[in-house]
Chains A and B, each alone.
Chain A
Amino acid sequence: MPFIPHTESDVAAMLASIGAPSLDALFDEIPPDLNCGGLAGIPEGLSEMAVTRLTQERAARDGFYLNFLGAGAYEHHIPAAVWQIVTRGEFYSAYTPYQAEASQGTLQLLYEYQTMMAGLTGLDVSNASLYDGASALAEAVLMAVRASKAGIRRVLVPATVHPRYLAVARTTVKNQGIELVGVPFDPASGLTDPAALEALGAEPAAALVIPQPNFFGRLEAVDALTDWAHAHAMLAIALVNPLSLALLKPPGQWGSKGADICVGDGQPLGVPLSSGGPYFGFMTARQALVRQMPGRIVGRTVDLDGQPGFALTLQAREQHIRRSKATSNICTNQGLLVTAATLHMALLGPEGLKNVALSSHANTRALVDKLTAIPGVERVFPGPFFHEAVIRVSSPVPEVLRALRAQGILGGYDLGLDYPELAGCILVCATETRTDGDLAQYAQQLERILSRRREAPPCAYK
């Protein structure tokens, strides 16, 4: 019982106060036949020293890889100050700021976060986070359906949206009778196919999702798509990489009216890769939609003395007040990750964030140039992209990636896993953390692997 402070005399005094003969007696309202008699199947407890040794050994077994894998999770430099401050006990071990007067630190930070996200996305309001980018997309779909005055339960989702996001959105909305309709992409460009979209737009829909950059790294025609959505009485839901917005036009300025809702994953803003989480989802929107938003929102107000202060607001939307009529069942969100992102954005500032975006993009361009110079490698989907691109290789992708892994390199994402028509294609990414030497190492190993396979194809071993 490593964290229980009671001495034997404490226990005796406390039981006496209660009037109970033993600790067991405290459970006398539980039917005795239900007692499971302890947890014999769980091993003995370990000291901090022992668990540290065990954990370090396991971590060491996993090691480090030179990473060219993105596909929705990106390795960026995170300033040391971010996680040192985030893990201060006053942030780390605080609860959701329901008691506003005792939580002004967290509340002010969330207000600053909302301001940063609204500014980055060019929209009016922001909530205080959702679970991740995929669940944020699902919540945006639900929000668009709630906002639909005609009660339309159909939303258009391009096939260029991250396939895992689409799967999560399906899990989330399918029980409410909402239809997610796929929009195919043009195989020549890797962009949402305007003709296919036009055909699908013949039937009403509550919203169109617009990914920027899309899953292939390509830059969609966001202005035209936003205007198209509005012309067809749909909301435009922007799905973005927040880092890209230091460089790219914010969704609030897409087309003539701007996107209505913007969501994405905040991981590139100070959150380590960590095998997939915890990350956080963000959501911003036009002012008119604020009462349809899910999740917590912080407002600035005044206290009894008229001094500025902060509190959770619009709680009538939420489950603890509205119960079965709430905008969402979300309660706990990803507060600590938002704390990290706020510090991260403050430390990088507008110039820093833009330079990270530019450096990442330049590194990916340089990588693509190096890789496509190798015989048997070609670029797929020509045209503007941001910091991630698709290449096709002449050998089977799983083998190529395995051979690269054996050299300590994560070579990218096998697009054939989700798109059968893209078998042979790899999505590659080089963030600002990659050096020229890293790029050269990838190119050198890929060239060696492909040439070896050309010279000695697998059948030669049989």
Chain B
Amino acid sequence: MPKATDYQLPTTNYQLPTTDYPLSAQQMLIFQHARPGRRAYAQAPLTAPAADDLPAEVLRQAPPPLPEVSELDVVRHYTGLSQKNFSIDTQFYPLGSCTMKYNPRACNSLALLPQFLARHPLADADTGQGFLTCLHELQEMLKEVTGMAAVSMAPMAGAHGEFAGVAMIRAYHDARGDAARREIIVPDAAHGTNPATATMCGYTVKEIPTDRQGNVDLEALKAAVGPQTAGLMLTNPSTLGVFEKTIVAIQKIVHEAGGLTYYDGANLNAILGRVRPGDMGFDVIHMNLHKTFSTPHGGGGPGAGPVGVSERLRPFLPVPYVVQEQDSYRLARMADCPQSIGPMSAFGGNMGVLLRAWVYARMLGGKGMARVAEFAALNANYLAAELKRAGFDLAFPERRASHEFIVTLKKLKDDTGVSAMDFAKRLLDYGFHAPTTYFPMLVPECLLIEPTETESKETLDAFVAAMVAVKREAEGQPDLVKSAPHTLPARRLDDVKAARELDLVWKAA
């Protein structure tokens, strides 16, 4: 059995100058590279006919304050900026609840085929049968993955999918004239998007507690449901990294009270090919394709948040979705489904993201998807076991980890003053992206760690070594950890100043 001390600590792959530098080229804004009259001459017409048909009062008087730079200025500046980022392609990124797995390059290059890029969203379906065939296949595969009766891929992110789901729940109750149902039940461990979504759909939120084993408190749930219950939003495996063992009972309690059940599919990676929300009796699920189906996070999007529904919610699906008519495909519009909650975007959704997810799904196949859950679970449980062995406290040591798990640094904080945030920042110096910190909020000083299935044992071992090293530093030289990071393009940033002295837009001195 390996011991923590056996691990080789990798050298950090983040090398930066340590000298005091004034405002160097690396820190300049694109606007500071600009010189009047400079241009990227290849990129726009050099001259253009005047708009002599337009009256002066509609015209802009001064040119927009965009930078005047050359093409090389732009390429060098933004290449330089990219190098200041951590990313999956450059670092292990064990960010819990975000599923930062490898984004296969083929998914990108095939989604960027020129015919796909050139197709206008309002062009008729007969100009896009190849594209729509891919979309329809993805839609059908997502039905199979979730066990739901129907799927719409209209939502453009997880929270957008949540909105669609809760709006459908509301449309269902409204269609039955059941106007008293005004409350959505959300466990306290839920993502913030769940309560925020309920509010956007005009509902009030009732939070219920989690028991000491990390499960939804069934007694509290029974006490919470009633004729005012519109539905329950549940993440499973939960944000605590464990499977809700009583999920069928939870679903029944809500349904017997007349509410519907929403399955937040943020953690779908953990159950692919293992269990299906449809089989568990749920009415609606959203999937984050930028998590489970490995489309890129892109520094904050675009994502895609398809929703799957049970038979009773089918009439309310957001448009468009793909319909098959004999051998051809087209996108459904409101005329096809008058009870739909409506469209969620001008042109139907994040099509290029859906294409990437389709490529990924076709490369994995059904068996490959089931392997994803197995190896995500293997990596999470291995990492949890090794960290426990190395002296870290797991939040739920007696539970099986799903695809992620929580380490609590409460004892370390009490002993040394080093917080989970300090610890996370110091991990950056070791070349590892930090785990998710301070979420879920009910575990003090928590690190939510999700290794994903695409990481090797060696990477996980190196991460354990870094965790051990930081723990030792915290015990021996806490100030070193509290003032981390030390080797990144910026040191700890002043968030208070950022919020108090708002500087959101650069102004030339």
Contact = CB atoms under 8 A, between A and B. Distances in A.
Interface in B152-195: 156-160, 162-163, 167, 170, 191-193, 195
B130 A57 contact: yes
Nearest to B242: A29
B129 A334 contact: no
Interface residues of A, number: 198
Given A247-B51, A250-B64, A324-B199, A100 B121 contact: no
Interface stretch (A18-26, A199-207, A449-457): A18-26
A38 B273 contact: yes
A334 B368 contact: no
B58 interface: yes
Given A63-B115, A314-B499, A26 B381 contact: yes
Interface stretch (B100-108, B216-224, B408-416, B465-473): B100-108
Contact of A93 (B61, B89, B378): B89
Given A88-B79, A324-B195, A349-B67, A94 B158 contact: no
Given A97-B300, A125-B505, A274-B352, A134 B31 contact: no
Contacts of B362: 43, 45-46, 51, 54
A343 interface: yes
A299 interface: yes
B64 A245 contact: yes
A460 interface: no
A177 B20 CA distance: 56
Contacts of A35: 274-275
Given A125-B505, A275-B351, A384-B53, A104 B163 contact: no
Contacts of B456: 5-6, 10
A290 B47 CA distance: 38
Contact of B117 (A39, A54, A57, A274): A274
Contacts of B378: 6, 11, 14-15, 18, 23, 26
Residue among B134, B200, B279 having the largest count of chain A Cβ atoms under 10 Å: B200
Given A112-B506, A346-B69, A131 B82 contact: no
Contacts of A18: 378, 381-382, 385
Contacts of A36: 147, 273-276, 279
Contact of A320 (B87, B102, B439): B439
A42 B361 contact: yes
Interface string A215-229: 000010011000000
Contacts of B162: 329
A445 to B, nearest CB: 16
Interface string A310-354: 110110101111111110111111111101001101111111111
Nearest to A103: B85
A356 B120 contact: no
A462 interface: no
Contact of B49 (A26, A323, A358): A358
A343 B365 CA distance: 36
Contacts of B509: none
21 contacts: A3-B102, A13-B457, A17-B389, A18-B381, A29-B400, A51-B110, A59-B115, A85-B78, A87-B108, A90-B82, A92-B108, A94-B299, A99-B433, A101-B488, A175-B167, A176-B200, A176-B202, A279-B347, A324-B205, A337-B302, A352-B40
A247 B49 CA distance: 12
Given A38-B367, A326-B199, 12 more contacts: A10-B456, A18-B381, A48-B363, A94-B88, A168-B342, A249-B57, A276-B347, A319-B191, A342-B78, A349-B39, A355-B44, A355-B45
B423 interface: no
A249 B59 contact: yes
A373 to B, nearest CB: 17
Contacts of A272: 117-118, 352
A157 interface: no
A353 B44 CA distance: 7
A180 B344 CA distance: 16
Given A304-B491, A319-B193, A96 B275 contact: no
A111 to B, nearest CB: 7
A343 B85 contact: no
Contact of A118 (B40, B434, B505): B505
Nearest to B348: A276
B428 A4 contact: no
B363 A273 contact: no
B81 A125 contact: no
Contacts, number: 699
A114 interface: yes
- Residue in B85, B106, B115 whose Cβ sees the most chain A Cβ within 10 Å: B85
B400 to A, nearest CB: 5
The 4 closest A-B CB pairs, nearest first, are A89-B89, A276-B347, A45-B365, A336-B298
Interface string B47-91: 111110111011111011111110101110111111111111110
Contacts of B59: 247-249
A387 B20 CA distance: 51
B193 A331 contact: yes
Given A23-B374, A101-B425, A332-B157, A85 B116 contact: no
Given A115-B506, A290-B502, A322-B192, A51 B106 contact: yes
B490 A345 contact: no
Interface stretch (A74-82, A181-189, A230-238, A436-444): A74-82
Interface in A387-420: 401-402, 405, 410, 413
Interface in B240-277: 242-243, 245, 247-248, 271-276
Interface string A147-166: 00000000000000010110
A96 B198 CA distance: 23
B63 A351 contact: yes
B306 interface: no
Interface string A276-313: 11111000000000100000111111111101111101
B463 interface: no
B202 to A, nearest CB: 4
A315 to B, nearest CB: 8
A107 B428 CA distance: 17
Interface in A62-79: 62-65, 67, 69, 71-73, 75, 77, 79
Contacts of B74: 81, 343, 346-347
B364 interface: yes
A304 B89 CA distance: 28
B7 interface: no
B366 interface: yes
B296 A336 contact: yes
A313 B502 contact: yes
Given A275-B119, A303-B491, A346-B30, A321 B192 contact: yes
Contacts of B102: 3
